[in-house]
Structure 1
Amino acid sequence: MALGAVSLPLASRAARADTFPSRPITIIVPFAAGGPTDVLARIVAEYMRATLGHSVVIENVTGASGTVAGLRAARAAPDGYTITIGHWGTHCLNGAIYQLQYDVREFAPIALIASGPQLIIGRPNLPARNLKELIAWLKDNAGKATSGTAGPGSGAHVAGVFFQQLTDTNFSFVPYRGAGPALNDLMAGHIDIMFDQASNSLPQVKSGTVKAYAVTSSSRLASAPEIPTVDESGLPGLYIAYWHGIWAPKGTPGEIVSTLSAAVTAALAEPNARQRFLELGQEIPPPDRQKPDSLRSHQAAEIDKWWPIVKSANIKAE
């Protein structure tokens, strides 16, 4: 009887692993449809479907710089059928900025999928032609210029605060429910600048509907080599990369995490998916760095780097 009692849970877990998945999987996206995180999620979901044999649907849960989605994901059943995509802002910065009802460090990592720098961009009719002229224009319009963000404490907000500190400029932040709506207002000329993920704004840069001043990296984008780096533009050291990962709720069985991780890795190996990521200014890490342990260590390193910076700058959610 004792042996039977021990073997039943093991058999149950094995059966669950063998049958997973048996129905559609939901990826929670913490921002509005059309934003950079949403676009990346939809590309990955499209190719995961072939490996898993079931559809992978997107659920956009917006609000409070991704914390509403974070709580939704944290409270989801740890069965692999509800997972979430996030990035440097949602799974690093938010832990230092918000009083959360969950711990960003306790999600079960599935895969590190991409990394891409920000672009410093402006409305199409902004008179500044390069970053030095933009800084001068911002100083001439101190307190009048506006910068769009995906909410207080978002990556765009944090980047803007650091930019202000480095350049001694002063402008107002305008919060939106996501990067997509903010970019729409930038193109329409309702706000002046943004510190935005390349995956969100690069298509608009190439079409000429926004101006690009610099990339927040020490090297130029392979997909947009014409955009200078911050080093080349006279603002060295403003390095910010939006890395994206996929997580499951805490307590999700390891065998299910492995199945999901393998499906993501297979999706990222698809030539069409890789090309689409490249066009969005996203670099896919090599397969050995896509694994759950790699995402866990990368997230931990970013937390160690950014939490002291955010707290020392007294950046808080409003």
Structure 2
Amino acid sequence: MRAGLLAGLCGRVIALCVTMSLVAWIPPTSAQSFPSRPITLVVPFAAGGPTDTLARILSERMAADLHGTVVVENVAGASGSIAGARVARATPDGTTITIGHWGTHVLNGAIYKLPYDVIADFEPIALIASGPQLIVGKKALKADSLKDLVAWLKDNPNKATAGTAGAGSGAHVAAVFFKTKTGTEFQLVPYRGAGPAMIDLVAGQIDLIFDQATNSLPQVKNGAIKAYAVTSPTRLASAPEIPTVDEAGVPGLYISYWHGIWAPKNTPKEIGDRLNAAVVAALADPGVRQRFAELGQEISPKERQSPAALAAHQKAETEKWWPIVKAADIKAE
């Protein structure tokens, strides 16, 4: 009888072990059940800025494709590195992701001493779109062309002010390059994002911004600010009246803000693929495409919207810009 009880107990133990093994074998999250709770899309700048605008356009369409909720959260400060640290430390289950760009995921790695690696600590999801900067000024500036602006800056060294999205931001880097190319000097005024800087430019509190077209074009079109040039070898299809830097007198000042979506390192591939599919679907939507075009954004071709394409592009940009930034001794202030 004792032998029978022992055999029965052993059988139960074996059955329990098998059951536990099967449970342990089931992946904690799968693409089929994802997302089981709301997704937070972290924007590394203040609300109202260019990156925030793109995030809100995308999030609405992504939510529909994912049959879930995508919440945009603004985490501003230190040119996007505060948000970067938060997402790098987040649980890699696909429910915390970030939108970033040339500044946050390339320049910050050369300028800041970060508690994370801009490449190694993230899983690339999708390359979204790119757009050049605009050199824009307050409406009251006497200069009506880029050549006139350069002449005025030379005649008034350090009297003009240019807003940036923070020390080491793309606007900061562009302003330094502009100074170098034109031999001009002016003061840089850091903000917590391009949105607040634009508010002060429209109000006439600062003189200039080297700004993403996404942020500036609406204000240019409504006549609130002046546009001097686009930092591209070709004119914008959505604003063909704005000359290129080559045409306007500062040749070769090419800067393109490209945006991407990243998740924390070790996010399961099947979840990354599901997020990528949602982004690709959003970028194929006619309404999204129209809104991006109105903001001067060129959506990446479908073959370049993959995680691998974003990883390759980020690597190439890092190899290009890090030596330039370090040679110019651009540092966080």
TM range (shorter): over 0.9
- What is the CA-CA distance between 1:265 and the residue it aligns to? 0.4
Q: For the residues of structure 2 that align with 1:129 and 1:91, how far apart are their CA atoms? A: 35
Structure 2: give runs of 5+ residues left out of the alignment. 1-13
- What is the CA-CA distance between 1:4 and the residue it aligns to? 8.2
**2:70: which partner in 1?**
56
For residues 36-92 of structure 1, what are the alpha-carbon distances to aligned partners after superposition, in whole Å with 9 as ceiling and x for unaligned? Answer: 000000000000011101110001001110010000111110000000000000000
**1:156: which partner in 2?**
171
- What is the CA-CA distance between 1:286 and the residue it aligns to? 1.1
TM-score after normalising by structure 2? 0.93
Q: For the residues of structure 2 that align with 1:300 and 1:212, how far apart are their CA atoms? A: 32
For residues 269-310 of structure 1, what are the alpha-carbon distances to aligned partners after superposition, in whole Å with 9 as ceiling and x for unaligned? Answer: 110000000000000011110110000000000000000000
Q: For the residues of structure 2 that align with 1:28 and 1:290, how far apart are their CA atoms? A: 20
Pick from 6, 14, 17 the counterpart of residue 31 of structure 2. Answer: 17
**2:185: which partner in 1?**
170
Secondary structure of the 1:232 match is helix
- What is the CA-CA distance between 1:143 and the residue it aligns to? 1.1
Secondary structure of the 1:199 match is helix
- Is 1:66 aligned to residue 74 of structure 2? no
1:122 partner letter: G
Pick from 196, 210, 215 the counterpart of residue 211 of structure 2. Answer: 196
Q: For the residues of structure 2 that align with 1:3 and 1:142, how far apart are their CA atoms? A: 78
- Is 1:92 aligned to residue 106 of structure 2? yes
- What is the CA-CA distance between 1:23 and the residue it aligns to? 1.3
Distance 1:3 1:103, change over 3 A: farther
Secondary structure of the 1:159 match is helix
Q: Is 2:30–2:270's contact at 8 Å kept on the other side of the alignment? A: no
- What is the CA-CA distance between 1:141 and the residue it aligns to? 1.1
Distance 1:255 1:10, change over 3 A: farther
- What is the CA-CA distance between 1:10 and the residue it aligns to? 4.7
Q: For the residues of structure 2 that align with 1:6 and 1:250, how far apart are their CA atoms? A: 27
Pick from 126, 140, 156 the counterpart of residue 141 of structure 1. Answer: 156
For residues 210-241 of structure 1, what are the alpha-carbon distances to aligned partners after superposition, in whole Å with 9 as ceiling and x for unaligned? Answer: 00000000000000000000011111110000
Distance 1:235 1:7, change over 3 A: farther
CA RMSD across the alignment:
1.4
- What is the CA-CA distance between 1:260 and the residue it aligns to? 0.2
Q: How does 1:231-270 map to 2 (within 5 A)?
A: 231-270=246-285
Q: For the residues of structure 1 that align with 2:216 and 2:148, how far apart are their CA atoms? A: 21
Quote the sequence identity (%): 68
Q: For the residues of structure 2 that align with 1:137 and 1:129, how far apart are their CA atoms? A: 10
Q: For the residues of structure 1 that align with 2:24 and 2:320, how far apart are their CA atoms? A: 41
Secondary structure of the 2:299 match is coil
- What is the CA-CA distance between 1:203 and the residue it aligns to? 0.3
Pick from 41, 45, 49 the counterpart of residue 27 of structure 1. Answer: 41
Secondary structure of the 1:231 match is helix
**2:129: which partner in 1?**
114
- Is 1:288 aligned to residue 320 of structure 2? no
Secondary structure of the 2:52 match is helix
Secondary structure of the 1:91 match is helix
2:325 partner letter: V
Q: Is 2:165–2:192's contact at 8 Å kept on the other side of the alignment? A: yes
Secondary structure of the 2:232 match is coil
**2:223: which partner in 1?**
208
- What is the CA-CA distance between 1:97 and the residue it aligns to? 0.1
- Is 1:276 aligned to residue 291 of structure 2? yes
Pick from 97, 105, 108 the counterpart of residue 83 of structure 1. Answer: 97
Distance 1:123 1:18, change over 3 A: same
TM-score after normalising by structure 1? 0.97
1:157 partner letter: H
- What is the CA-CA distance between 1:16 and the residue it aligns to? 2.6
Distance 1:5 1:236, change over 3 A: farther
Query: Which deviates the most, 137-146 or 154-163?
Result: 137-146
**1:132: which partner in 2?**
147
**1:105: which partner in 2?**
119
**2:4: which partner in 1?**
none
Secondary structure of the 1:302 match is helix
